[in-house]
Amino acid sequence: MSGTELSGLAGKVAVVTGAGRMRSIGRPIALDLAAAGCNIVLTGTGRAVEHYPEDEKEAGWRDISSVADEVRQTGAQALALVSDVSDPDSVDQLVKDTLAKFGRVDFVVNNAGAARGSDRVPVVDLAIEDWHKVMNVNLNGTFYMSRAFGRALVDQGEGGAIVNISSIAGKMLPPNTAAYAASKAGIQALSACMAREMGRYDVRVNTICPGIIDTYRMDDIGRGEAWENMLKMIPLGRPGTGEDIAHMVTFLCSDQGAWITGQAYNVDGGTVVQH
């Protein structure tokens, strides 16, 4: 039996936030959608070069500009914009810039997220500012993006898809991750509510919950004993890659995912098994 190539993607416009890192989830998402025929709007925070990881510095990495160049190499068009998802005015401007460039939007991938940091402590020790930082980027940013681009999709009247990148932490709810886990659980609730509201407009809203993904976000724990112990939790025996998440995103945006909405899919090598 032969497989079926994904359809319904050629000539569409996809917005991918948090797409500027070299070792990431956002970059593969942008490239996979581009390879499938989408034109891409990709955003980053405009971080300073001194904050790049060493491998990005050595590679001469240019954040979203480098990813935009890779998108264009697939034959797709790319628009790279510095945008802060935690600022609703910046998000509104992103909608305007997207429509000004391409005249339409079809898919929105809310991938931008707060980096691991000083929020990884017990609740009683969690600084208020750390709580707000995580919530403002992860949950509020997803809300601002979904609200603004959701309006554009409704006005356009041709359906579409919103895919929100959450985490299995929003289901496992581990200790010392209260801000992060709560923000991700909130994304799952936001997505499910919105899916029920947007179905009448043929707009699908789904969530992907990645497990342990080998990206720059894991660099603070290294790749030694602690890393190996984490990998033991994964039945398939390896960490995920950005491409593992990207393939699921592309499927959910395609015609083949056209009857899927309101779901929160674990893409985690079997770490969280649900029935």
pTM of the model: 0.95
* Torsion 21-243-144-181 (CA) sign: negative
Q: Which residues are catalytic?
A: 180
Model confidence at 235: pLDDT above 60 = yes
- CATH of the domain spanning 13-267: 3.40.50.720
**What is the model's pLDDT at position 1?**
39
First vs last C-alpha separation in the chain: 28
| Average pLDDT value for residue range 138-143 | 98
The pLDDT confidence band at residue 191, using thresholds 50, 70 and 90, is very high
The two structure tokens encoding residue 215 = 């990206």
pLDDT in tens, 16-27: 999 999 999 999
- Coil/strand/helix, residue 104: coil
Model confidence at 209: pLDDT above 50 = yes
Share of the chain above pLDDT 70, in %: 99
Domains of the chain, residue spans: 13-267
2 CB-near residues (< 8 Å, 6+ apart): none
- Coil/strand/helix, residue 161: strand
